[in-house]
Amino acid sequence: MNNACPCHSGKPYTACCQPFHQNKRPSTPTQLMRSRYAAYSLGKIGYILKTEAENSRSQSDKAKYRKELKQYCEMTSFIGLSILEAPTPTETQGFVKFHAVMHQNGRDVSFVENSYFERVNGRWIYVKAMA
């Protein structure tokens, strides 16, 4: 299927992550997580930056980070995504544990991460990976 969502949900992109990439707010951390994975796959750097916690990077560091993100997206194949655990979030905090299957230059760079999300002004954002 040509228009399958890059988050590997099995749904069409238009009925899955595209609305979030077009400004709709994800209502759960899982939706945000999936839409961020899809954004990495599509190289939507603006969306990745917009949906993560503000940090104290300087302007020049931000430009560098943006460039690194772009390179990372370009050199990585985003092959699969499984949600392992997604406990019901509170009003302002949530966790999503996932397995991302990815390749770089034929090397397997897959990983499992437990991501921590916060809801700020009604909008879910990615904060950090938990140990």
Choose between 35 and 94: whose C-beta lies nearer to Zn ion.
35
**Contact residue for Zn ion among 1, 2, 3, 7 (CB under 5 A):** 7
Residues near 66 by beta carbon (within 8 Å), at least 6 away in sequence: 45, 49
16 is a site residue for Zn ion (CB under 5 A): yes
Closest separation between CB of residue 6 and Zn ion, Å?
Answer: 7
Please say which residue, 36 or 119, places its beta carbon nearer to Zn ion: 36
Tokens of 38: 């899809």
Stretch that binds Zn ion, among 3-11, 55-63, 66-74, 88-96 (CB under 5 A): 3-11
Q: How many residues at the interface with Zn ion, by CB under 5 A? A: 7
- In terms of Cβ atoms closer than 10 Å to its own Cβ (0-12, 13-18, 19+), residue 71 is exposed
